[in-house]
């Protein structure tokens, strides 16, 4: 928890954007209405795999619409996601292609002056298709020799031929697995399957683009990465970056779906440029359901342990169904093994991961990025091992987990750093006490219709993707801090806030470091023309990396301020300190040991201006050289109705080791939300495809994409959140991440509670009522 000497960290303040959001005044991309704005629509394929034989826009164009097909756009391949370095980025996307690779794939973009004309124009487009064989499962896709989903992909300018629809593969070996398994007294091996969850961010992905008189464009997109969006658009449309302004605008949720520059963004830009009009495209919910999903996984996990519980060897073989494009499949195969490697010590391990193209929506990162998937299998296996060895599952975890002083893989095998803070033991001890772990029933002698069970799982997420040596992933943030002439402060950064309070946290760090009241630090509007590069707000890096940059730059601005103050107070800079004077609501500079010798920060800034000394301002790009694990533990109690198979969540104890907690109220909200989405993945959420039509069986409807509702979750009184009392020495004022960690162990924890209630070990998610009734078999 927060150190006692912090003024603002660890205390709750109303979020800075709260009033705008509570009054409906916050503007999201879909809320932008510009004078003379046209409306756009993306035409989407009814077929899972087909070539375009002929496309005719004549009638649509006669109505006054502006139309684009593959013939009208640049052919060069790219990847929507720009987070990895070019050597690790697989290019298989085009703005529009001469073939479609899934139902819902874009084949044309149309814009018109009014919605009415647009609707008529869309219906007037004539297309002839050549239907191709489609592959809805990785198993079918890998059998194909011709009519592949992609014939090739590129890495930088080098072309690679695709074989059997295999998009990429990775193998990693450490130690000697065969010898390791020989030392094992117990070996557990299972196949695990995790679902194709839809992000369901509440605002469908949207974009507005306005061509500017100087030949440039201004873009208001749904995105998590302003600068990567700008850089990609610059490449695709051959625009110099100084004429390409991407504006930060809050998205109605992301959950990872906006790490890449979604197709709606470049489709909007393409049609706006051709029409030379401002254009808005808001995806329909159906289109959005065909646009992105969590990576589904199927893997065999084998772990061996000695009688005393020491883990000796492990083997993981994974097949990942990535849908019809690369977004970050290669990186995903890396993190899948990386998260596993960082959960429990294993000197001997072997990993083989394959990513396969199918004619489905492209899978991408979603909160946890592979960690919820692999943590489910690993934690379930740990539970099984504990049972077989007769060791308490908590003890087995504490004996083997990767903790203080050990090496953490923060983003696959190329991003490694040493762990400097570790609250796992504290979270397990407190959590087990609060849930009543000692009262866990024996799962194998249960009777009666309603059966309660208590389970747990632990996990983590990385805080950013920094490491001492840069790996496959880019990671830095630029921040600017400026002390204004009235003592207020502007913080400028391209960091995004997806709702968790990231920007408030960054502002709080600045306030704390400068010694000014929190409400005096403002977060400036940001766009790509006025901010330095920030890679993306993803990977739970907002507070640690983005906040870390703001904090370091605040220190620099403070030095400038103290330089000015030193001239006024006639004392050397290193004798000066700052603090907020809350009674006067001002920041104050004072001489250490002589508090009566002081001056307000506002007065220093004013005098610096009037004397022509300058503004106390600083700007710098900061790269964190560590990626500390933000640990979480979840203890869950459920009640299973053995007659209907219904699983009710009774009680939750969520534990988080986020280092020093900056916004406790908002941090608790991260755990509430993480649990909700994780429990949805455990009990309900999945998207499957009709193998004949290639369509989603939910038909793009939310009523048939089931999510948990308020009525399915425990009452607030039965949801406890605890924070570990840790300090991350590499983080800004002791802080590390929280976001994705809030979900990662949840599916495993829920499955563990269901096991304790029913005696059934589930290895496939979601666990549906019919699975309970079938005793976990036949599915």
Partner 1 sequence: MRIPISIMVNGKNYNLQVKPNELLLNVLRENFSLSGAKYGCGIGECGACTVLLNGRAVLSCLTLAVSANGQEITTIEGLSDGNKLHPLQESFIEEGAIQCGFCTPGMILSAKALIDEKPEPLNSEIKEAIRGNVCRCTGYISIITAIKAGAKK
Residues that bind partner 1 (CB under 8 A): 12, 14-15, 17-28, 30-31, 33, 199-204, 250-255, 282, 284-285, 498-500, 665-666, 668-669, 672-677, 701-703, 707, 709-711, 713, 715-716, 719
Strand ranges for 533-615 from DSSP E: 576-581, 586-591, 594-600
CB-wise, 89 or 262, nearer to partner 1? 262
CB of 333 to partner 1, least distance (A): 27
CB of 319 to partner 1, least distance (A): 28
CB of 53 to partner 1, least distance (A): 32
CB of 430 to partner 1, least distance (A): 19
CB-wise, 18 or 729, nearer to partner 1? 18
- Dig out the tokens for 351 from the structure: 């990993």
Distance, in Å, from the CA atom of 121 to the CA atom of 61, rounded to the nearest integer, reads 7
CB of 411 to partner 1, least distance (A): 24
Q: Which strand (E) or helix (H) includes residue 21?
A: helix 18-22
CB atoms within 10 A of CB 384: 19
The residues facing 482 across adjacent strands are: 490, 617
CB of 675 to partner 1, least distance (A): 6
CB-wise, 425 or 672, nearer to partner 1? 672
Distances (CA, A) of 303 to 336, 457, 539, 612: 16, 17, 27, 68
Under DSSP, the state recorded for 136 is: -
CB-wise, 308 or 711, nearer to partner 1? 711
Scored b (16 or more CB within 10 A) or e, 101-120 reads bbbbbbbbbbbbbeeebbeb
Distance, in Å, from the CA atom of 401 to the CA atom of 407, rounded to the nearest integer, reads 11
CB of 702 to partner 1, least distance (A): 4
Length of the chain: 779
CB-wise, 377 or 674, nearer to partner 1? 674
CB-wise, 28 or 93, nearer to partner 1? 28
Q: At 18, phi and psi to the nearest 5?
A: -60, -50
Radius of gyration of the chain (CA): 27
**634 near 699, Cβ under 8 Å?**
no
In which residue are the tokens 């029913």 written?
A: 758
CB-wise, 240 or 709, nearer to partner 1? 709
Helices 226-237 and 263-275: angle between axes, nearest 10 degrees: 50
Give alpha helix (H) positions in 468-600: 502-514, 548-569
CB-wise, 62 or 284, nearer to partner 1? 284
CB of 22 to partner 1, least distance (A): 4
CB-wise, 25 or 53, nearer to partner 1? 25
CB-wise, 390 or 709, nearer to partner 1? 709
CB of 254 to partner 1, least distance (A): 8
CB-wise, 747 or 776, nearer to partner 1? 747
In which residue are the tokens 């080791």 written?
A: 657
Scored b (16 or more CB within 10 A) or e, 122-140 reads bebbebebeebebbbbbeb
CB-wise, 207 or 560, nearer to partner 1? 207
CB of 523 to partner 1, least distance (A): 15
CB-wise, 24 or 36, nearer to partner 1? 24
**33 near 115, Cβ under 8 Å?**
no
Distances (CA, A) of 327 to 45, 82, 90, 287, 355: 20, 9, 8, 18, 11
CB of 12 to partner 1, least distance (A): 8
Look at residues 95, 102, 119 and name the one whose alpha carbon lies nearest to residue 41: 119
CB of 20 to partner 1, least distance (A): 8
Distance, in Å, from the CA atom of 123 to the CA atom of 113, rounded to the nearest integer, reads 16
Determine the 3-state secondary structure of 364 from DSSP: strand
Distance, in Å, from the CA atom of 598 to the CA atom of 18, rounded to the nearest integer, reads 35
With residues binned 3-state (H G I as helix, E B as strand, rest as coil), the percentages for the chain, rounded to 5, are 30, 30, 40
- Sheet containing strand 719-723, edge to edge, reads 450-462, 629-641, 647-657, 719-723
The alpha carbon of 13 is separated from its chain's Cα centroid by a whole number of angstroms, namely 25
Burial class (CB in 10 A: 0-12, 13-18, 19+), 310: middle
CB-wise, 204 or 370, nearer to partner 1? 204
CB-wise, 101 or 280, nearer to partner 1? 280
Distance, in Å, from the CA atom of 375 to the CA atom of 352, rounded to the nearest integer, reads 17
DSSP string, 726-744: ---TTSGGGB---TGGGTT
CB-wise, 277 or 326, nearer to partner 1? 277
DSSP string, 457-507: EEEEEESSS--SS--SB---EEEEEEE-TTS-EEEEE-----SSSHHHHHH
CB of 243 to partner 1, least distance (A): 29
Q: In sequence order, which residues have a C-beta less than 8 Å from that of residue 618 and are 6 or more positions away?
A: 480, 481, 553, 554, 556, 557, 559, 560
CB-wise, 20 or 773, nearer to partner 1? 20
Q: At 176, phi and psi to the nearest 5?
A: -135, 105
In the chain, the largest separation of any two C-alpha atoms, in whole Å, equals 83
CB of 677 to partner 1, least distance (A): 7
Look at residues 673, 665, 704 and name the one whose alpha carbon lies nearest to residue 687: 704
CB of 663 to partner 1, least distance (A): 8
CB of 559 to partner 1, least distance (A): 35
Look at residues 403, 546, 382, 567 and name the one whose alpha carbon lies nearest to residue 480: 546
CB of 205 to partner 1, least distance (A): 12
């Amino acid at each position: 928890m927060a150190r006692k000497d912090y003024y603002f960290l660890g205390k709750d303040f109303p979020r800075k954007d709260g009033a705008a959001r509570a009054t409906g005044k916050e503007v999201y991309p879909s809320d932008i209405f510009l004078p003379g704005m046209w409306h756009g629509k993306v035409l989407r394929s009814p077929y899972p795999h087909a070539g375009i034989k002929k496309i005719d826009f004549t009638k649509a164009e006669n109505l006054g619409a502006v139309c684009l097909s593959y013939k009208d756009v640049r052919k060069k391949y790219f990847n929507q996601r720009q987070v990895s370095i070019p050597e690790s980025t697989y290019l298989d996307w085009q703005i529009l292609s001469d073939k479609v690779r899934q139902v819902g794939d874009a084949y044309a973009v149309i814009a018109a002056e009014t919605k009415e004309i647009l609707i008529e124009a869309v219906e007037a487009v004539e297309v002839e298709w050549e239907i191709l064989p489609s592959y809805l499962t990785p198993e079918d896709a890998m059998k194909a020799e011709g009519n592949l989903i992609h014939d090739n992909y590129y890495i930088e300018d080098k072309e690679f031929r695709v074989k059997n629809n295999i998009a990429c593969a990775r193998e990693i070996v450490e130690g000697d697995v065969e010898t390791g398994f020989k030392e094992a007294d117990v070996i557990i091996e299972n196949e695990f399957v995790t679902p194709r969850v839809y992000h369901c961010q509440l605002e469908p992905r949207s974009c507005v683009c306005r061509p500017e008189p100087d030949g440039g464009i201004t873009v208001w997109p749904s995105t998590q990465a302003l600068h990567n969006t700008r850089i990609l658009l610059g490449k695709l449309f051959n625009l110099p970056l100084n004429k390409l302004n991407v504006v930060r605008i809050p998205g109605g949720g992301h959950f990872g779906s906006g790490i890449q520059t979604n197709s709606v963004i470049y489709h909007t830009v393409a049609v706006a440029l051709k029409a030379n009009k401002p254009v808005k495209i808001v995806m329909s919910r159906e289109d959005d359901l065909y646009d992105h999903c969590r990576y589904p996984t199927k893997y065999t996990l084998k772990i061996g342990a000695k009688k005393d519980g020491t883990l000796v060897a492990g083997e993981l073989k994974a097949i990942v169904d990535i849908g019809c494009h690369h977004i970050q499949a290669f990186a995903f195969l890396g993190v899948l093994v990386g998260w596993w490697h960082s959960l429990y010590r294993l000197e001997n391990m072997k990993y083989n991961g394959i990513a396969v193209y199918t004619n489905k929506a492209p899978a991408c990162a979603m909160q946890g990025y592979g960690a919820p998937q692999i943590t489910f299998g690993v934690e379930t296996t740990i539970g099984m091992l504990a049972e077989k060895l007769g060791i308490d599952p908590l003890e087995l975890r504490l004996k083997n987990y990767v903790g203080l002083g050990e090496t953490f893989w923060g983003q696959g095998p190329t991003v490694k750093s040493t762990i400097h803070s570790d609250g796992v033991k504290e979270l397990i001890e407190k959590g087990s006490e609060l849930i009543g772990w000692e009262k866990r029933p024996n799962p194998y002698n249960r009777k009666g219709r309603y059966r309660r069970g208590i389970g747990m799982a632990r996990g983590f997420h990385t805080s950013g993707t920094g490491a001492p040596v840069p790996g496959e992933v880019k990671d830095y943030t630029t921040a600017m801090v400026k002390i204004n002439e009235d003592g207020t402060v502007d913080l400028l950064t391209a960091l995004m806030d997806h709702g968790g309070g990231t920007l408030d946290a960054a502002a709080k760090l600045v306030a704390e470091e400068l010694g000014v009241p929190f409400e005096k630090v403002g977060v400036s509007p940001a766009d790509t023309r006025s901010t330095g590069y920030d890679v993306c707000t993803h990977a739970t890096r907002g507070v640690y990396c983005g906040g870390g940059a703001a904090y370091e730059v605040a220190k620099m601005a403070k030095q400038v301020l103290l330089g000015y103050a030193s001239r006024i107070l006639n004392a050397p800079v290193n004798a000066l300190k700052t603090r907020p004077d809350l009674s006067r609501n001002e920041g104050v500079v004072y001489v250490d040991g002589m508090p009566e010798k002081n001056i307000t920060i506002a007065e220093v800034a004013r005098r610096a201006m009037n004397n022509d000394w300058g503004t106390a301002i600083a700007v710098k790009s900061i790269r964190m050289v560590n990626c500390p694990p933000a640990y979480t533990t979840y203890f869950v109690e459920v009640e299973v109705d053995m007659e209907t198979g219904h699983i009710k969540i009774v009680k939750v104890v969520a534990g988080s080791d986020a280092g020093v907690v900056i916004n406790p109220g908002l941090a608790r909200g991260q755990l509430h939300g993480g649990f909700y989405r994780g429990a949805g993945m455990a009990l309900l959420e999945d998207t499957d495809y009709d193998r004949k039509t290639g369509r989603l069986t939910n038909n793009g409807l939310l009523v048939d994409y089931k999510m948990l509702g308020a009525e399915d979750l425990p009452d607030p009184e039965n949801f406890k959140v605890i924070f570990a009392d840790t300090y991350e020495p590499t983080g800004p004022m002791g802080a590390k991440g929280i976001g994705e960690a809030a979900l990662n162990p949840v599916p495993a924890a829920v499955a563990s509670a269901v096991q304790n209630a029913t005696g059934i070990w589930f290895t496939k998610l979601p666990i549906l009522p019919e699975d309970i009734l079938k005793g976990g078999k036949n599915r």
